[in-house]
Amino acid sequence: MDLDITHPALSDLRARARRRMPHFAFEYLDSGTGRERGLAQNRAALDAVRFRPAILTGELAPDLSRSTLGHTHPAPFGIAPIGMAGVLWPDAERLMAEAAARLRLPYGQSTVAAATPEDTGPIVGDLGWFQHYPVNDAEIRRDMLARIKASGWRVLTVTVDVPGESRRERQRRAHVSMPPVMTPRILASIAASPAWALGMARRGMPQMAFPASYTKGVTGPDAFTHAGRVIRAFPDWTYIEALRSEWTGQLVVKGVQEPEDAARLVDMGVDAIWVSNHAGRQFEGGPAALDALPQVAARVGGSVPVYYCSGLEGGLDILRALALGAEFVFLGKAWYFALAAFGARGIDHLHDILTADMVANMTQIGAATLDDLPGRLLR
Ligand SMILES: Cc1cc2nc3c(=O)[nH]c(=O)nc-3n(C[C@H](O)[C@H](O)[C@H](O)COP(=O)(O)O)c2cc1C
């Protein structure tokens, strides 16, 4: 059956993913923090961006391609980094890296992924954007950067919007823990998800593979805690200075919302600014991420690319962020709902949904290229 008939929208993929994933894994992927106002605010801010429909434009063949950081991509969106993706779905990191190479999208892999940079770097080729969480030990940091570079990752994205742990009450209620602790409740939810369980049985329970390679000798449940400690740094501005001098490739800072912070980072020599509020997972008392985007773009957009993620659910949402000043956008949860719903085929299907939805909406707006979008905003 044609997936575009049975599952025409991301919401359909999410619903199927929910049935196929153990409850704790779905909750880890889907939840925000606190009362989840951050998620709701991101959604409301996107819905508030409207365009002027166009008439009598003749036939349009919208061009979705976009260049950023020296690469031209067929579409202006990529895959945001997701920690422990290998718990969400077996072998998620490899499947996502392969999809990125196939679809020519940037693939972000988290420091706390279940794969190392060496595992997936050669698969993703020049589309690899490695995500860096600050690490405590400068020597470990330098070794990590050298390994990331040596395995071919082109861009380093440093995430700065996690100054400490958030509470994520929904995850607590679902008994989310890393690694999963096999309580009767967790076992029951695994038993109810045979495709997930079979894949995990073949591969073994995922670990934070990259940080864990710096805690040799520690095994068992403690291994996870020790690996986690490698990245429990509380960085300040000097950390970015150090990173800038040590990473010779392109450096992107993710999780920026204040225009003055963006300007200071650009002065420090970073190559791009990524506006995000971590999809409302860290703090629900700040602005909607989208509300920060035009201000940051106005402040630094002339000198470096500005990116956006948080809450994008379809092609129209992508157009909204591009119209407000993003040069490129990223989706996080969406790709993993698609993967859990239909495996690698689900990722390709989501890509088709997003591009078809962009084309359909650009035609209504009368935008032949992405550059036409700001001029079609309803002010
Ligand atoms: C399950 C999960 C894990 C995440 N882990 C990381 C991470 O390890 N590093 C990081 O920079 N961002 C992480 N993020 C944030 C995403 O990179 C991205 O900012 C966010 O998911 C985008 O919003 P969206 O999911 O609504 O598209 C995570 C998000 C989710 C949902």
Contact 254, 159 (CB under 8 A): yes
For residue 181, name the pLDDT band (cuts at 50, 70, 90): confident
In the three-class reduction of DSSP (H, G, I as helix; E, B as strand; rest coil), residue 334 is classed as helix
Q: How far is the CA of 332 from the centre of ligand 1 (A)?
A: 5
Ligand 1 lined by 311 (C-beta under 6 Å): yes
Annotated active-site residue 278? The verdict is: yes
The residue-averaged pLDDT of 178-202 equals: 91
Backbone Cα Rg of the chain: 20
Question: How many angstroms separate the alpha carbon of residue 148 from the centre of ligand 1?
Answer: 20
CB atoms within 10 A of CB 218: 13
Q: Choose, from 7, 23, 73, 278, the residue flagged as catalytic.
A: 278
Residue 373 buriedness (CB in 10 A; 0-12 / 13-18 / 19+):
buried
3-state SS of the chain: helix, strand, coil percent to 5? 50, 10, 40
First to last CA, the chain: 42
Instruction: Tell me, using a 6 A CB cutoff, whether residue 255 lines ligand 1.
Output: no
Assess whether pLDDT exceeds 80 at residue 59. Answer: yes
Q: DSSP string covering 295-309, please? A: HHHHHHTTTS-EEE-
Q: Judge if the beta carbon of residue 132 lies within 6 A of ligand 1.
A: no
| Integer Cα distance of 355 and 364 in angstroms | 14
Q: What percent of the chain has pLDDT over 90?
A: 91
Q: pLDDT digit string (tens) for 262-319?
A: 999 999 999 999 999 999 999 999 999 999 999 999 999 999 999 999 999 999 999 9
Domain ranges of the chain: 3-368
Q: Mutation test of ligand 1: which of 36, 82, 132, 230 has the most ligand atoms closer than 8 Å to its C-beta?
A: 82
Q: Where are the beta strands (DSSP E) in 77-154?
A: 77-79, 107-109, 128-132
pLDDT of residue 106: 98
pLDDT tens figures, 288-302: 999 999 999 999 999
- How far apart are the CA of 223 and the centre of ligand 1, in A? 23
CA-nearest residue for atom 2, ligand 1, is: 82
Give the right CATH number for 3-368 from 1.10.3720.10, 3.20.20.70, 1.10.1140.10, 1.20.1430.10. Answer: 3.20.20.70
Report how far ligand 1's centroid is from the alpha carbon of 186 (Å). Answer: 23
Both tokens of 22, joined, read 């153990």
How would residue 225 be classed by pLDDT, with cut points 50, 70 and 90? confident
366: left (phi over 0), alpha (psi -120 to 50) or beta: left
pLDDT digits (tens, 9 = 90+) for 131-145: 999 999 999 999 999
Of all protein residues, whose CA lies closest to atom 6 belonging to ligand 1?
82
